[in-house]
């Protein structure tokens, strides 16, 4: 999915061309991607008044309604592109258009009135924004203290920490040198602080790198990742071979040397998964 650094890159690139422009119409090519909560059947041209991000949602605020885009796994954007098989929705302005493209058709575009935003699944429940002042060490410690599941599951819990997905969860654990299966209640005070700091370091460095690389809007830039999808490649810190493990149904990549299991026996992955399942 586009994760927080990807969304931070996309956001100003939507905001700049869209704000102050009139959205003339929307064309829906994939009805499964569109949810209209307003009851309004027709589209009346509306001015885009602002574009903002709430966790993984990108929101176009219009004069009367909001368009809330949840890109999920594969949603992406392109200006004035040729219509592709995966083009789900086209936002047409007077002299250009923006396409929302979704190869997996798992993303959603909601049309909602302001008072209906809380009806959008996951919108209200978002955890703290990791780039905001509210993401304090105190908040992090408090949330970590009540959590029993694995560190990787914690990082991806959108109701606590907003907009970290598979890629950056792996990168953050690598930075913090924590094994992805370590349970939150097994972390030392020092490790919890390290994990908190790693979130800031990885996200900010990634945002900077993506900004420098300037990928096309519909390309997800991931060249800079150190462990994600790098199975059997050498760890950039110690040279050990990166491994892949399954953590509650998700592939996780880590360095077995930098991120030791602390002698808890996370060695036999297959038997561990059975024992560990669903917890």
Among 15, 35, 224, 237, binds Zn ion (CB under 5 A): 237
Pairing of strands 87-93, 75-79: unpaired
In angstroms, the CA 71 to CA 88 distance is 11
Q: Report the residue number, 144 or 258, with the smaller CB distance to Zn ion.
A: 258
Closest to 34 (Cα-Cα) out of 69, 84, 78, 10? 69
Note whether 227 binds Zn ion by CB under 5 A: no
Is there binding between residue 242 and Zn ion (CB under 5 A)? no
Asked whether position 62 contacts Zn ion by CB under 5 A, the answer is no
Check residue 258 for interaction with Zn ion (CB under 5 A). Answer: yes
Smallest gap from Cβ 176 to Zn ion, in A, equals: 13
Report if residue 246 touches Zn ion, rule: CB under 5 A.
no
Contact 252, 169 (CB under 8 A): yes
Assess 257 for contact with Zn ion (CB under 5 A): yes
* Residue 246, number of CB atoms within 10 A of its CB: 15
Sites for Zn ion among residues 21-60 (CB under 5 A) = none
Stretch that binds Zn ion, among 152-160, 165-173, 225-233, 250-258 (CB under 5 A): 250-258
The gap from C-alpha 132 to its chain's centroid, in whole angstroms, comes to 16
- Reference 45, options 28, 18, 21; nearest CA is 21
Nearer to Zn ion, 101 or 242 (CB): 242
Pattern 92-131, Zn ion, x by CB under 5 A: ----------------------------------------
Span from 1-9, 96-104, 185-193, 247-255 in contact with Zn ion (CB under 5 A): 247-255
Phi/psi-derived region of residue 111, left when phi > 0, alpha when psi is between -120 and 50, beta in every other case: beta
Question: Please, which residue, 143 or 191, has the CB nearer to Zn ion?
Answer: 191
- What minimum distance in Å lies between the beta carbon of 262 and Zn ion? 15
Pairing assessment for the beta strands 108-112 and 243-247 based on DSSP bridges: unpaired
Q: Is 238 in the site for Zn ion (CB under 5 A)?
A: yes
For position 178 contacting Zn ion by CB under 5 A, the verdict is no
Nearest residue to the partner Zn ion, using Cβ: 235
DSSP notation for 229-272? T-TTSBPTTT-PBPEEEEETTEEEEE-TTTS--TTS-TT-HHHH
241 binds Zn ion (CB under 5 A): no
Q: Does 255 bind Zn ion (CB under 5 A)?
A: yes
Nearest to 151 by CA among 195, 190, 189, 188: 195
Q: Which residues bind Zn ion (CB under 5 A)?
A: 235, 237-238, 240, 255, 257-258
């Amino acid at each position: 999915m586009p994760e927080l650094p990807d969304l931070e890159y996309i956001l100003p690139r939507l905001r700049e061309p869209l704000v102050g422009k009139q959205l003339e119409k929307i064309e829906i090519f994939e009805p499964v991607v569109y949810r209209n909560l307003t009851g309004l059947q027709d589209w009346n041209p509306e001015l885009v008044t602002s574009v903002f991000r709430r966790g993984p949602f990108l929101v176009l605020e219009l004069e009367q309604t909001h368009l809330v885009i949840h890109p999920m796994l594969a949603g992406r954007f392109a200006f004035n592109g040729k219509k592709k098989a995966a083009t789900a929705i086209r936002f047409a302005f007077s002299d250009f258009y923006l396409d929302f493209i979704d190869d997996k058709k798992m993303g959603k575009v909601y049309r909602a009135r302001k008072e209906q935003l809380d009806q959008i699944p996951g919108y209200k429940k978002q955890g703290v924004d990791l780039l905001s002042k509210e993401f304090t060490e105190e908040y992090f410690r408090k949330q970590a203290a009540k959590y029993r599941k694995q560190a990787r599951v914690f990082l991806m819990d959108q109701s606590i920490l907003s907009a970290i997905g598979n890629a950056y969860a792996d990168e953050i654990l690598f930075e913090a040198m924590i094994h992805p299966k370590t349970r939150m209640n097994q972390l030392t005070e020092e490790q919890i602080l390290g994990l908190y700091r790693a979130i800031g370091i990885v996200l900010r460095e990634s945002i900077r790198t993506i900004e420098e690389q300037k990928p096309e809007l519909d390309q997800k830039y991931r060249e800079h990742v150190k462990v994600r999808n790098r199975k059997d490649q050498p760890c950039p810190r110690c040279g050990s071979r990166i491994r892949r493990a399954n953590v509650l149904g998700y592939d996780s990549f880590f360095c077995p040397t930098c991120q030791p299991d602390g002698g808890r026996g996370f060695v036999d992955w297959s038997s561990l998964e059975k024992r560990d399942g669903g917890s």
